[in-house]
Amino acid sequence: MPTIRDVAHRAGVHPSTVSRVFSGKPYISQATRERVLEAAEALGFQPNAIARSLTLQRTNMLAIVVPHVFDGYFDDTFFPQVMRGLLQVAYKYGYRVLVGGSGGHMDEVTQVYDIVGSRQADGVIVLSHRLDVDLIGALLEFNIPFVVMGRPDTPSAEVAWVDAQDRRYTAEVIRYLIGLGHRRIAFVGGDPDVAVTVERLLGYQAALEEAGIEPLPEWVDYGFFVEDGGYQAVQRMIRLGSRAPTAYYAANDLMALGILRALRERHIPVPEAVSVVGTNGSLAAAHAHPALTTLFVPYAEMTARAASILIRSIQTGEKPREQSQVECQLIIRASTGPAPT
Amino acid sequence: MPTIRDVAHRAGVHPSTVSRVFSGKPYISQATRERVLEAAEALGFQPNAIARSLTLQRTNMLAIVVPHVFDGYFDDTFFPQVMRGLLQVAYKYGYRVLVGGSGGHMDEVTQVYDIVGSRQADGVIVLSHRLDVDLIGALLEFNIPFVVMGRPDTPSAEVAWVDAQDRRYTAEVIRYLIGLGHRRIAFVGGDPDVAVTVERLLGYQAALEEAGIEPLPEWVDYGFFVEDGGYQAVQRMIRLGSRAPTAYYAANDLMALGILRALRERHIPVPEAVSVVGTNGSLAAAHAHPALTTLFVPYAEMTARAASILIRSIQTGEKPREQSQVECQLIIRASTGPAPT
DNA sequence: CTGAAAGCGCTTACAG
DNA sequence: CTGAAAGCGCTTACAG
């Protein structure tokens, strides 16, 4: 690959002049500029981004780490929506996205440390916010811009986040089910060590308490966001017999689809006997049978916003501090109905 | 951030010694190694990856460019499956993934040029293989390892690829429909300028010709891989009246779901009146109503294989030349049945 | 407007 | 086993 020196040599100028032309600096004579561009063209020169990064201490890269590279993670709509929002904004501002894979949460933290510590990105979007690891504390020490998806459990004015108000909207879903006459309502959460799961559980509990309903501990289960997790939750809860739930709330559509599958296998009619609500507003939910009622969470929009905050922070040099919320929306379809009498 | 010099200073050694410790070079006395590691620990030192990349001329980065950042692209299972396969292998070998967004095919080419020309990645996976742009020729000139998803239309021993045998398997799907008695079969392709679309169309045509069926030009339509594309295709074809198709083949599940939606709206029973086959084997297909017959294409496996080839090439320094094929599988479900009589 | 030099933070061939 | 130096390919403050 040709370097700036090759171009300089061919154009008969000093390398610094070539650099000035390519970094859009002013005070270059038209003639010189043309000679340089011609030489560059002839040689097929493109500035080496790595060298530039080293000098400028800026990579034009936004980092994200996939919390857990396993099949189920890529079946839900969450990851692609996050990527969509992120790529849209990154693309618009000329940033690239660096994606790290990980084999679990400890490893995720290691990877974030690594990427940040080795200065491979100018900013980070923190996807999974776990309760058992202080990723945020670590990131603050690194003094690198980052934005958290979801409000951290220990809110600080130092940390920027975009939040979907999980607790509030989960409570709203449960209230909707209660309004349909349901009293035995199941909660199928994701990974119990992830903040969003706890938030949703709190919303669930609050709504039930409001209505004077004392939930059975057996109504709460964790499906770790995979289809089979929802399926298995039904297998367990069905054993409760007359105390089995008449409605299920699942923390993503994938698990809700698993719930539908389990009910279908047992010939339990939805929504006549049991109602089901998913989360995320995926396309699969719209096309499921019966069409799935789901709490739409605007993950693409959230990530787009997070990316914007990040880029602004990188460009101004000011620490990101914006804390904002997005609104979710309960999309009511055919999988929910009045409680059986 | 502390640098290798800070560590050297604190440990009372020369920077080159610190470098040797961190790059795992032999011939370092145990005592020195410990002093260096202690100093590094105390300072929170991590080697700067950018500097290392510049020196070693190696980034530990695999690049991929999203052909078109728009909503529909992220609704199908293709992109997440590709990311899954890529991340799994990248993660395993300690590589990161650099994702570039693009606003269309010209821009995609520009981005690939850019990433490769500026040496931001050690290898590239070429996702969309377009007929109207010679990305491959350009990549060959750059002399960077790359692997193409899908067999290029001008096969060369110089180019590595992983192919899903689109033509052959599409023909198989059409034969299956013919076997069910269908004679009026529609083809709903993706973007007509993408190689896979042409391959599938050729498979479609070959299978029909084999059976002595002369297809109407109106039976071929392009839905650009989005749900609404399938929906609109039905709107158009239905106007053919008695010559309207009794079976639809769609080049992804998203379009097939759109086809199902259009048929449902018109109260055309599936599969009694019309059969529908999708492509990709998505979860949404399994949960659709009726459950969608679909041609499973192992995109995650393909990308994983492509990534392996790429990494091996990077590590050995040999140009990747492996050309391999994966097998697809027709998953027969409830959306296909005998042609109406 | 342009050149010469120093520096970004590493690695490694060369001495010793 | 370790130090000193050169180099990876840029950018930019300093002169002129």
Tens-binned pLDDT, residue by residue, of chain B (341 aa): 889 999 998 888 999 899 999 887 777 888 888 888 988 999 989 999 999 999 999 999 999 988 887 777 899 999 999 999 999 999 999 999 999 888 877 788 888 888 998 899 999 999 877 776 778 888 888 889 999 999 887 778 889 999 999 999 999 999 999 999 999 999 999 999 888 999 999 999 999 999 999 999 999 999 999 999 999 999 999 999 999 999 999 999 999 999 999 999 999 999 999 999 999 999 999 999 999 999 999 999 999 999 999 999 999 988 999 999 999 999 999 999 999 98
Total Cβ atoms within 10 A of residue B217 = 6
Statement: residue A105 has pLDDT above 90: no
The two three-digit tokens of residue A231, written as one number: 């399926």
Burial class (CB in 10 A: 0-12, 13-18, 19+), A208: buried
Residue A134: pLDDT band (50, 70, 90) is: confident
The reported pLDDT for the residue numbered A325 is 95
Instruction: Give B117→chain A minimum CA distance, Å.
Output: 6
User: Do the Cβ atoms of A209 and A303 come closer than 8 Å?
Assistant: no
Residue A324 DSSP one-character state: E
User: Do the Cβ atoms of A81 and A87 come closer than 8 Å?
Assistant: no
pLDDT digits (tens, 9 = 90+) for B192-240: 988 899 999 999 999 999 999 999 999 999 999 999 999 999 999 999 9
Least confident segment among A102-111, A249-258, B197-206: A102-111
Q: Determine the protein residue whose CA lies at the shortest distance from the C1' of C11.
A: B55
* Partners of A63 in the β-ladder: A98, A124
Residue A225 DSSP one-character state: T
Residue B46: what residue type? Q
The reported pLDDT for the residue numbered A194 is 87
* B1/D7 CA-to-C1' distance in Å: 23
Degrees, nearest 5: CA angle B334-B339-B341: 135
Closest-CA residue to A274 (of A262, A284, A282): A262
The reported pLDDT for the residue numbered B162 is 96
The reported pLDDT for the residue numbered A108 is 82
> Which residues, 6+ apart, have CB-to-CB distance to B316 below 8 Å?
none
Residue A102: pLDDT band (50, 70, 90) is: confident
Tell me the percentage of chain A whose pLDDT exceeds 90. 71
- Rounded to whole angstroms, the Cα distance separating B157 from A9 reads 37
Burial class (CB in 10 A: 0-12, 13-18, 19+), A264: middle
> Which residues, 6+ apart, have CB-to-CB distance to B63 below 8 Å?
B97, B98, B99, B100, B112, B115, B116, B120, B121, B123, B124, B125
Closest-CA residue to A49 (of A111, A90, A85, A94): A94
Tokens 């005070």 found at = A27
A137/B contact by beta carbon, under 8 A: no
Are the beta carbons of B283 and A73 separated by less than 8 Å?
Answer: no
- Rounded to whole angstroms, the Cα distance separating A192 from A224 reads 8
- Rounded to whole angstroms, the Cα distance separating B161 from B305 reads 9
Q: Which residues of A touch B289 (CB under 8 A)?
A: 287-290
- Rounded to whole angstroms, the Cα distance separating A289 from B230 reads 19
> Which residues, 6+ apart, have CB-to-CB distance to A318 below 8 Å?
none
Alpha helix (H) residue ranges in chain B: 4-11, 15-22, 30-43, 49-56, 78-92, 105-117, 135-142, 166-179, 195-210, 227-237, 253-265, 283-287, 299-316
Q: Which helix H or strand E contains A104, and what residues bound it?
A: none
Strand order, beta sheet including B247-250: B220-222, B185-189, B247-250, B275-279, B293-296, B329-331
Chain B (18-47) residues lying within 8 Å, Cβ to Cβ, of chain A: 44, 46-47
Residue A154 DSSP one-character state: S
Distances (CA, A) of A127 to A66, A112, A148, A233, A262: 8, 11, 7, 26, 30
Residue B202, helix vs strand vs coil? helix
pLDDT digits (tens, 9 = 90+) for A209-247: 999 999 999 999 999 999 999 999 999 999 999 999 999
Average of pLDDT values for A155-170? 92
The two three-digit tokens of residue A206, written as one number: 């609050």
Q: Which helix H or strand E contains A212, and what residues bound it?
A: none
Q: What is the mean pLDDT of chain A?
A: 92
Footprint of strand D on the protein (CB under 7 A): A 1, 3-5, 15-16, 19-20, 22-23, 25, 45-48, 51-52, 54-56; B 12-17, 20, 26-29, 31-33, 51, 54-55, 57
Chain B (159-178) residues lying within 8 Å, Cβ to Cβ, of chain A: none
Half-sphere exposure of A272 (CA within 13 A, CB side): 4
The reported pLDDT for the residue numbered B297 is 97
Q: Closest partner residue to A101 among B75, B90, B117, by Cβ?
A: B90
Least confident segment among A132-136, A139-143, B61-65: A132-136
Give chain A's end-to-end CA distance (angstroms, integer).
Answer: 76
Statement: residue A260 has pLDDT above 90: yes
Dihedral angle sign, alpha carbons of residues B121, B125, B128, B130: positive
In order, the DSSP letters of B72-92 are GGGTSSHHHHHHHHHHHHHHH
Footprint of strand C on the protein (CB under 7 A): A 12-17, 20, 26-29, 31-33, 51, 54-55, 57; B 1, 3-5, 15-16, 19-20, 22-23, 25, 45-48, 51-52, 54-56
B36-72 CB burial, b ≥16 within 10 A, e <16: bbebbeebebbbbbbbbbbeeeebbbbbbbbbbbeeb
The reported pLDDT for the residue numbered A138 is 82
Mutation target to probe the A interface, by most A beta carbons within 10 A, among B59, B70, B95, B96 is: B96
Q: Which helix H or strand E contains A315, and what residues bound it?
A: helix A299-316
Are the beta carbons of A99 and B103 separated by less than 8 Å?
Answer: no
Domains in chain B with CATH codes: 4-41 (no CATH), 61-164+299-326 (3.40.50.2300), 166-297 (3.40.50.2300)
Tokens 């009498």 found at = A341
- Rounded to whole angstroms, the Cα distance separating A92 from A76 reads 26
Statement: residue A25 has pLDDT above 90: no
Q: Is the peptide bond before A320 cis (omega within 30 degrees of 0)?
A: no
Statement: residue A139 has pLDDT above 80: yes
The two three-digit tokens of residue A97, written as one number: 């996205």
pLDDT digits (tens, 9 = 90+) for A110-122: 888 889 988 999 9
Total Cβ atoms within 10 A of residue B315 = 12
B335/A contact by beta carbon, under 8 A: no
Residue A279: pLDDT band (50, 70, 90) is: very high
> Which residues, 6+ apart, have CB-to-CB distance to B56 below 8 Å?
none
The two three-digit tokens of residue A338, written as one number: 């009045």
Half-sphere exposure of B193 (CA within 13 A, CB side): 8
The two three-digit tokens of residue A179, written as one number: 């309004």
Statement: residue A71 has pLDDT above 80: no
The two three-digit tokens of residue A286, written as one number: 């719209």
Statement: residue A256 has pLDDT above 80: yes
